[in-house]
Amino acid sequence: MKAHILFVDDEAPIRELLSLYFRKKGLEVTTAMSAQQARELAGRLEVSLAILDVNLAGENGLELLSFFRTNYPKVPVIIFTGLSGQDLVAKALASGASGFMSKGDSLDALFTTVCRHLPQEGPP
Amino acid sequence: MRIRSLIKRLGSGSRFLRGGKSDSFAPPILREPERFPYGPFRWKSQLPPGTDYAVLASPNLRSWVPVSQGKAQEAPLEYIDSDAPKFACRFYRLLANEIYSANVIGYASVSLPPGFSMISNPFDSSATVAEMFKQWPDGTSLNRFDTRQFRLVENVIKSGKWLAPGEKLLRGEGAIFFNPTSDYKMASFAGEVCQGNLSTPVPAGFSLRASQVPQAGNLVEDLGFPIAEGDVIHLFDRERQNYTLHPYQDGKWPAGPPIIAVGEAFWVAKTEPHNWVQNLVIGS
């Protein structure tokens, strides 16, 4: 069974390109444009890993991280942001994030990070 | 040397090159543009036998030089530009019996490195995706953005065939192309240059857009894009395989203005919907 990624980002360019790239690499990807949509999808899908943008419209990605930690504690969550700063990294990791990805990273680097955090199945 | 002597013979200020009017002669039409992969560009036209003509070419639709001249025969005129590989894009028109052709045609080549590229077709063309992208391997894909579903819709080559071979990449429409090989490749668009007032709707939020005019330059100053405070342009760096963002803040471009190549598409995050109107008139 393919690893299933839930990718939450309200910025279409990066969300669509990255999900396209991950699919070409053999992952199954479902995208969400908002925290609300992500919550609904998490309840319906068997998610292997979630990628959450920090600056979601209407709701902070770190708040969504708390939702995942409470309701889906076994699902690794990677925080994805264009922002930099050790404070944000520390806060995300303290809140239970498994990893951190920067929007400035190359597609290959992002894929490597995702594979590193995929539970059991490992890279596709 | 051939072009130089041609210019000298015709004379750049001659009536022949200026394109004066003649009442009894219909402007010729250039048709069947075809770019051979990595090779020449060909087109055809029909002129009354015995008509003097000159073929004019331009790399930018602004400066034109005569590249050939002759006298029309019974058979249709077929022009083959074997210098095409030397130019990333080139445009053509005819001057016959002192009248310019009714249309301008041309081609534009785009570089497609391994991975993703954001591309667009800047010409009017009836070519399908299968005709535009021939001899590509399995895994090649062309993805258009569906603004109603807010997602990319993929057309991909499987078992040597495009899943939707009849799909078309319309003039000014942007797409994300995926080159699955480890080789740098080229693709060429060919067709007619559309003139007049060309309008592209740009909705609020994200959309994938491209110029309807095959010209390169500053997106706002040269291509007339209607930028507004808070808008963000996303270009894709094909070499580094990631985006470069160009936010428009306080009436400036803090990261530098977005410069668009011919045949390049871009994402725009627009604060308010707007029409992008481009006016192209190719004069004499």
CB contact under 8 A, B150 and A11: no
Chain centroid to Cα A102, Å, comes to 11
**How confident is the model at residue A124, as a pLDDT?**
55
Which residues of A are less than 8 Å from B240 in CB distance?
106
pLDDT-derived band at A61, boundaries 50, 70, 90: confident
Name which of B262, B259, B258, B238 is nearest B176 in CA terms: B238
For residue B16, what pLDDT is reported? 46
Q: Is B252 touching A (CB cutoff 8 A)?
A: no
* Beta bridge partners of residue B173, listed in sequence order: B209
Contact A16 B152 (CB under 8 A): yes
Pairing of strands A49-53, A4-8: parallel
Asked whether residue B83 falls in the same domain as residue B122, the answer is no
Q: How much is the average pLDDT of A61-71?
A: 93
| pLDDT, tens digit, 9 for 90 and up, residues B205-241 | 999 999 999 999 999 999 999 999 999 999 999 998 9
User: Mind listing the pLDDT tens digit for each residue in B88-139?
Assistant: 999 999 999 889 999 999 999 999 999 999 999 999 999 999 999 999 999 9
Rounded CA separation A51/A105 (Å): 14
By residue count, chain B amounts to 284
Inside any domain, residue A124: no
Range of the domain at A101: 4-86+95-117
| Domain finish residue from B68, B103, B138 | B103
Does a structural domain hold residue A122? no
Q: Are residues B134 and B178 in the same domain?
A: yes
Range of the domain at B76: 2-103
Judge whether B244 and B237 are in contact, CB under 8 Å: yes
Task: Give the whole-angstrom CA distance, residue A95 versus residue A89.
Answer: 10
Tell me, what CATH number does A64's domain have? 3.40.50.2300
DSSP bridge partners of B44 = B31, B78
How many alpha carbons fall within 13 Å on the CB side of residue B66? Answer: 25
Its ipTM equals 0.84
pLDDT digits (tens, 9 = 90+) for B54-88: 999 999 999 999 999 999 999 999 999 999 999 99
Same domain, B166 and B238: yes
Domain presence at residue A46: yes
3-state secondary structure at position B117 = strand
Phi, psi dihedrals of residue B66, rounded to the nearest 5° = -75, 135
In-domain check, residue A108: yes
Q: Quick one: pLDDT at residue B8?
A: 46
Dihedral, A82, B263, A29, A93 alpha carbons, nearest 10: -10
Domain end residue (candidates: B87, B103, B119)? B103
Query: How many pairs of residues across A and B have Cβ atoms under 8 Å apart?
Result: 46
Say whether A12 and B150 touch across the interface (CB within 8 A): yes
Partnered with residue B109 across adjacent β-strands are: B188
Lowest mean pLDDT among A8-17, A19-28, A85-94, A107-116: A85-94
> Which residues of chain A neighbour B243 with C-beta distances below 8 Å?
13-14, 17, 103
B200 and B141 together in one domain: yes
* A105:B242 CB<8 A: yes
Residue A110 located in a structural domain: yes
B243–A12 CB contact, under 8 Å: no
Q: Give the pLDDT confidence of B165-219 residue by residue, as tens digits.
A: 999 999 988 999 999 999 999 999 999 999 999 999 999 999 999 999 999 999 9
In a domain, A27, yes or no: yes
Tell me how many domains chain A contains: 1
Side chain identity at A7, as an amino acid letter? F
Do B164 and B46 belong to one domain?
A: no
Q: B124 and B95 share a domain?
A: no
Asked whether residue B246 falls in the same domain as residue B193, the answer is yes
Query: Is residue B184 located within the same domain as residue B117?
Result: yes
Domain assignment present for A33:
yes
| Cβ–Cβ gap B242/A107 under 8 Å | yes
Interchain contact B267–A (C-beta under 8 A) = yes
Q: Is the pLDDT of residue A15 over 80?
A: yes
Residue showing tokens 């445009």: B91
Q: What is the CATH number of the domain that holds B23?
A: 2.60.40
Q: Answer yes or no: is A123 within a domain.
A: no
End position of a domain, from candidates B46, B76, B103:
B103
User: Domain total for chain B?
Assistant: 2
Amino acid type, A112: T
In degrees rounded to 5, what are phi and psi of residue B82?
Answer: -80, -5
pTM of the predicted model as reported, rounded to 2 decimal places: 0.88
Looking at the fold, whether B69 and B144 belong to one and the same domain comes out as no
Same-domain pairing of B45 and B70: yes
Of A14, A24, A33, which has the smallest distance from its Cβ to B243's Cβ? Answer: A14
Dmax (CA) of chain A: 37
Does residue A117 contact residue A49 with C-beta atoms inside 8 Å?
A: yes
Spell out which residues of chain B touch residue A13, defining contact as CB-CB under 8 Å: 206, 234, 243, 267
For residues B2 and B93, the model is more confident at B93
CB B134 within 8 A of CB B37: yes
Query: Helix, strand or coil for residue A6?
Result: strand
